[in-house]
Structure 1
Amino acid sequence: MERIAGWWDGFELWVAGLPFIPQFLVVLVGMVPVSFAIAFLLDRGLRAVFRALGRDDAEPAPAVAAEREPVGSGVR
């Protein structure tokens, strides 16, 4: 665990020592995928919980109407 903490401290110091624009880009490249992954996992997890509780927003599939003859324009 100390190796991971030491590596993380070194990484933080490296990022903190960068100028603003490269620092912003490094954080952006790291945080955008992590944020999307967290949002995706939360969405899937909460959807499963709500479905299990019977509180999902899914509407029932509409009944398929019987096929009818196409209606013409009346012009012959």
Structure 2
Amino acid sequence: MNAVGSWWDGVELWIAGLPFIPQVAVVLAVVVPAAAITAYVVDIMLSTLFDARRRMFRRETAANPVRPEEK
């Protein structure tokens, strides 16, 4: 875990040492794809969850329901 912390500190210091424009470019190159991937994964997870919930709580319909106009 110390190795990961040391590596992250080095990356952070490297980004902080860059001029503003390259700093923004590097952050956007990492943050935009990470946010898009996160949004995609969350969308898939929620879709799966809601589909399962819909199947679980779906009301069963009668085989031959009687409609009011057919009485």
Q: Provide structure 1 residue ranges, at least 5 long, that are not aligned to the other structure.
A: 56-76
Q: Provide structure 2 residue ranges, at least 5 long, that are not aligned to the other structure.
A: 56-71
- What value does the CA root-mean-square deviation take over the aligned residues? 1.1
What does 1:1-76 correspond to in 2, within 5 Å? 1-54=1-54
Q: Percent identity?
A: 49
TM-score (normalizing by structure 2):
0.75
What residue in structure 1 maps to residue 63 of structure 2?
Answer: none
- Considering fraction of residues, name the structure with more helix: 2
Q: Which has the higher contact order (CA 8 A, sep 6+)?
A: 2
TM-score (normalizing by structure 1):
0.70
* Deviation beyond 6 Å, 4+ runs, structure 1: none
Matched residue of 1:54: which SS? helix
- Greater C-alpha Rg: 1
